[in-house]
Amino acid sequence: MWAAPTRLGLMNIAPLTLGSPSNAHALTVPTPVFLAPMAGVTNGAFRTLCYEQGAGVCVNEMITARGVTIGDFRTVDMMTFVADEPVKAVQLYGTDPDTLDVAVGIAIQAFGAELIDLNFGCPVPKVTRKGGGGVLPWKLGLFRAIVRACVASADRYGVPVTLKCRIGIDDAHTTFRDVGRIAEDEGIAAVCLHARTVAEAYAGLAHWEAITELVGLLDIPVLGNGDVREGSDAVAMMAQTGCAGVEIGRGCLGRPWLFADIKAALAGDDTRHLPNLGEVCALLLRHAELNIALLGEHHAMNDMRKHTGWYLRGFPVGSETRLALSHVSSLDDLAGLLARLDPSASFPTSELGKPRGRQGTPRTHVIMPYGWLNDRDGLGLDIDDSDAGDVSGG
Ligand SMILES: Cc1cc2nc3c(=O)[nH]c(=O)nc-3n(C[C@H](O)[C@H](O)[C@H](O)COP(=O)(O)O)c2cc1C
């Protein structure tokens, strides 16, 4: 199960403190390795598995502020934390400072959130069309107003606020430097930079040099995000950019043990977790059980179909079983299909270091409200914030 350890250069990884150390509520994260928020993926079941493997903070899916304030039932379900999560962290999305102010208060008071993350990176047209997500920081006044409102709201409870952004809208309209400066001014505890533009979506290689630049500009911690697929990538990103920690998105899809690998790698040990098919199936079944406890069997098993594909990638499964797994609707069916597989099949090492999850292609243009780029200082007061829930795909 465990590959022979080799030695990587030992890194001096400091625990990450979110919030001023003089604040009794400041959060200290011993291992600065975060599970990145992923809509439709990072629910309580997946977060539980990633925490068990050593993730420092696991951020819930992106949740719309408006859905929180109107008590939308899907939003409430998504916001619910698992009882013993080490850090209850949620990402909020919105375009209206007042709505976000209230949503932050509710997330903390009613749901027990201990860390609020703000979404300024979503590239989904449904979001950018309304001036939200990754295109919002172009409006510096609106961006500042949102950050100020959220920090003030969370401050009442001593809860730190972080934010996640991209490099900008496209190469000609970068925003990350302004985002960083304003975030620092307004009391944000850390900035996570997904080192791509909105136009790049998930395609191509992340531009780690932008992370290096942001680290040089800011005194608050910067978390690097983009293309960390193995422990050695995390070591390389921290060494190259000087970032205070890393956020992991697609690399851990169907592979929550990546967090154990990264933790080992940051401690100088290149041990890799290479579970055989039997071990992967056991984890997959546990994931399904945790998901059923959260969502009920029907929804949980629908949700598990994509995870099943990720867990079994590269293993000898056979096209018939793979097809049957993609339609599975009960835990018993899942267990029955997995029992057909050879538990001793070894981990497909050819999968290591390969991209996982969505890659897509860059966009030729980013959909934004009419005239959005004409004015940087506006407050964007006429933008439509009417979506309550379901903004998937951050
Ligand atoms: C399925 C999926 C859903 C995502 N949802 C969100 C989200 O809700 N909020 C967010 O800030 N980023 C979201 N992202 C982006 C990731 O958090 C991360 O920034 C991106 O995948 C790049 O990191 P990676 O190369 O480690 O995957 C999502 C990505 C994927 C693949």
Residue 6 is predicted with a pLDDT of 43
Looking at domain 16-272+361-374, which of 2.40.110.10, 3.55.10.10, 3.40.50.2000, 3.20.20.70 is its CATH number? 3.20.20.70
For the segment 167-172, the average pLDDT, to the nearest whole number, is 97
pTM equals 0.94
For the cut 50, the answer to whether the pLDDT of residue 30 exceeds it is yes
277-351 has CATH 1.10.1200 classification? yes
Is 122 a catalytic site residue? yes
Question: What is the residue-averaged pLDDT of the chain?
Answer: 92
The 10s digit of each residue's pLDDT in 241-287 is: 999 999 999 999 999 999 999 999 999 998 899 999 999 999 999 99
- 3 state SS of 235: helix
Residue 142 is predicted with a pLDDT of 96
Angle subtended at Cα 270 by Cα 348 and Cα 205, rounded to the nearest 5 degrees: 70
Is 16-272+361-374's fold the same as 277-351's? Answer: no
Residue 222: phi and psi, rounded to 5, are: -115, 130
Residue 148: phi and psi, rounded to 5, are: -60, -45
- 3 state SS of 263: helix
Residues of the chain with pLDDT > 90, as a percent, come to 86
The number of the ligand 1 atom at minimal distance from the alpha carbon of 228 is 26
Q: Please state, in angstroms and rounded to a whole number, the distance separating the CA atoms of residues 241 and 228.
A: 13
d(CA 65, ligand 1 centre) in Å: 18
Residues of the chain with pLDDT > 70, as a percent, come to 92
Q: Please state, in angstroms and rounded to a whole number, the distance separating the CA atoms of residues 359 and 361.
A: 7
For the cut 80, the answer to whether the pLDDT of residue 122 exceeds it is yes
For the cut 90, the answer to whether the pLDDT of residue 381 exceeds it is no
For the segment 344-360, the average pLDDT, to the nearest whole number, is 93
For the segment 290-308, the average pLDDT, to the nearest whole number, is 97
Question: Among 250, 307, 392, which residue has the most ligand 1 atoms within 8 Å of its CB, making it the best to mutate?
Answer: 250
Of the listed ranges 141-145, 158-162, 335-339, 381-385, the one predicted with least confidence:
381-385
Q: Please state, in angstroms and rounded to a whole number, the distance separating the CA atoms of residues 385 and 285.
A: 39
For the cut 70, the answer to whether the pLDDT of residue 203 exceeds it is yes
Is the CB of residue 383 less than 8 Å from the CB of residue 371? no
Residue 12 is predicted with a pLDDT of 63
User: Which uninterrupted H or E stretch holds 109?
Assistant: helix 97-109
Domain segments of the chain as ranges = 16-272+361-374, 277-351
For the segment 51-60, the average pLDDT, to the nearest whole number, is 97
Any atom of ligand 1 within 6 Å of the Cβ of 394: yes
75: confidence class by pLDDT, cuts 50, 70, 90: very high
For the cut 80, the answer to whether the pLDDT of residue 199 exceeds it is yes
Residue 391 is predicted with a pLDDT of 46
- Token pair recorded at residue 78: 């998504």
For the cut 90, the answer to whether the pLDDT of residue 26 exceeds it is no
d(CA 356, ligand 1 centre) in Å: 12
- Catalytic residue (one of 58, 122, 192, 243): 122
Q: Please state, in angstroms and rounded to a whole number, the distance separating the CA atoms of residues 304 and 311.
A: 10
For the cut 60, the answer to whether the pLDDT of residue 107 exceeds it is yes
Question: Among 33, 35, 38, 136, which residue has the most ligand 1 atoms within 8 Å of its CB, making it the best to mutate?
Answer: 38
For the cut 90, the answer to whether the pLDDT of residue 1 exceeds it is no
For the cut 60, the answer to whether the pLDDT of residue 392 exceeds it is no
